[in-house]
Amino acid sequence: MHHSPLTPIDWNELTSDISEGNLIPIIGNEMYKFKVDDKLMALDDYLSDKLLLENNITSESNLTLAEAINYVGQENKLPIRSINKRLKELVDEIDFDFPLLSDFLEINPLNFYLNTTVYNNILENKIGQLRKEPLTSSNFSIRSKFPDCENIEHLKEPFVFNVFGSFKSADPALSEEEMLEFTASFRERMNDNALNILDALKNKSLLFLGCSHPDWLIRFFLRMLSNERMNDWLNRRSQIIIVNDQSNDREKQYSFLNNYNAVTYEGNTHEFVQELMSKWRKKNPVMQKPKMIFLSYTQKDVTAAEKLKHALGTIHNVTCWYDKDKLFSGDNFELTIIDNIRKADLFIPLLSENSLTQQDKYVLEEWSKADAVNKFRELDGRKDRYLMPIVIDNADLNNSIVKRYYPQLSIEKVPEGNPNPDFIDRLKNNLQLI
């Protein structure tokens, strides 16, 4: 059946594919957008601007990241490995929220993700934070072997396949020339290393989400990942859905793709994610985002923190962010903590003689970040309480640190981290759980 660009997506079929584990999302650079002055900016654009600025190139603007990499390499005679290293450093320094990615990753039945950017740390950390479970990943490579996933039907934890490699791999594809080399060797390398992934790509519905590429590359890319001739798409029992932001190339690409029975979305990537999440939540009302509490404590008070965490863990639909068991291998420690302070529904600092007299710099940094988050929430007009300080021993609450961060707040007494029922009720009320 032919689909024109105006043919609406069959949302029931799409959400059913998700529920039944029959959809593979292929995540592109348009999903990596963060807010700047109430507008969304693509991470690719941010990195392109940074790269040009750091190399004193002001004559060029509006270059794609791949174009900027090529230009800097040629103009300043820099080897690609040096550019890759600097880009990795820039990505590791990032402390942005990516709302499209965060919203989309709330869909729990999705367990298998293809990533078409090299920002593996962002995607993998987001999945780890939202799903609260470990994940595995694999980086496509021309130079070295890479692991396959187990049969997709038997996946018990999230799996990410980085199609163009990642900053972890020896040969991430950032330039257009490198991407073309990856596409040219894809079938042979996958046959040698990843038959389960190949099989999944051929038999599942595919959602290309924000994968913008130059027009000359898009056909190679789609053909490569669908693992079959595009003429065979006409006979597919599963869907191929393409969602991209509007661009000079998109109309021509959509017109071409509709000849092969691919479904295209008329709006942009942001609008698609919003519409999908609305449809999904309506169809799955039980999917309610749990309330998250951030516990901030000095290491000498870990016993009290564990007691409090255990007590709070008995409250339905509440999860505690707790650095001892929520940091995964490979996480950027500081960025992960800052990200979770910002996302928390409630921030509970454990005031004690240890935390107030020894002035643990990590704890004070957390309190400072939480204070800033609280001020922004107040500016946004939010009335729900974010800061709920507690004191766990006989610490002097006239301490200058308390006056700095919690001058007008009532401070609850929770001796040694053991909350009484009244405290639990007040906490549940703060989180609007009763």
Contacts of 170 (CB under 8 A, 6+ apart): 141, 143, 144
Residue 78, pLDDT score: 82
Average pLDDT, the chain: 84
Inside any domain, residue 366: yes
- How far, in Å, CA of 27 to CA of 98, rounded? 13
Co-location of 173 and 279 in the same domain:
yes
- Joined together, the tokens standing for residue 155 give 């996946």
Does 373 reside within a domain?
A: yes
Most confident segment among 83-87, 386-390, 406-410, 420-424: 386-390
Shared domain check, 126 and 58: no
Using the 3D structure, point to which of 259, 283, 307 is the last residue of a domain. Answer: 283
pLDDT digits (tens, 9 = 90+) for 173-208: 888 788 888 888 988 999 999 999 988 888 898 899
In a domain, 6, yes or no: no
Give residue 288's pLDDT: 57
On whether both 128 and 22 belong to a single domain, the answer is yes
The alpha helices in 20-109, defined as continuous H runs, are: 43-54, 65-75, 80-93, 99-104
Position 5 in a domain = no
Q: Are residues 255 and 125 in the same domain?
A: yes
Question: Tell me, what DSSP letter sits at residue 150?
Answer: P
Q: Are 158 and 111 in contact (CB under 8 A)?
A: yes
Do residues 123 and 44 both lie within one domain?
no
Q: Specify the pLDDT at position 434.
A: 57
Tokens matching residue 82: 């040096």
Enter the tokens of residue 281: 């939540």
**Given a cut of 60, is residue 3 above it in pLDDT?**
no
306 and 404 within one domain: yes
CATH at residue 380: 3.40.50.10140
Domain stops at, among 263, 283, 303: 283
Residue 4, domain member (yes or no): no
Please check whether residues 199 and 330 belong to one and the same domain.
no
Segment 339-346 shows an average pLDDT of 90
| Angle formed at CA 186 by CA 193 and CA 15, multiple of 5 degrees | 90
Are 198 and 311 contained in the same domain? no
Query: Would 1 be classed as within a structural domain?
Result: no
- Of 307, 319, 326, the residue nearest 390 (C-alpha): 307
The amino acid present at 98, given as its one-letter code, is: F
Q: Residue 205 is part of which domain span?
A: 11-32+98-283
Calculate mean pLDDT across residues 109-135. 85
Exposed (0-12), middle (13-18) or buried (19+): which is 151, by Cβ within 10 Å?
A: exposed
144 plus 257 within the same structural domain: yes
Q: What is the band of 324 on the pLDDT scale with cuts at 50, 70, 90?
A: low
* Domain termination site, one of 249, 283, 317: 283
Q: Is 296 helix (H, G, I), strand (E, B) or coil?
A: strand
Half-sphere exposure of 89 (CA within 13 A, CB side): 9
H-helix segments, 214-268 = 215-226, 250-258
DSSP one-letter code for 387? B
47 assigned to some structural domain: yes
Is 143 part of a structural domain of the chain? yes
Who contacts 189 (Cβ-Cβ below 8 Å, separation ≥6)? 140, 141, 142
Specify whether 274 is located in the same domain as 378. no
Name the most confidently modeled range: 335-339, 396-400, 415-419, 421-425. Answer: 415-419
Query: Residues 300, 359: one domain?
Result: yes
Is residue 195 within 8 Å of 157, Cβ to Cβ? no
Q: Say how many domains are in the chain.
A: 3
4-7 long-range contacts, CB within 8 A, separation 24+? 4/258, 5/251, 5/254, 5/255, 5/258, 5/264, 5/266, 6/266, 7/263
- The verdict on 166 and 221 lying in the same domain is yes
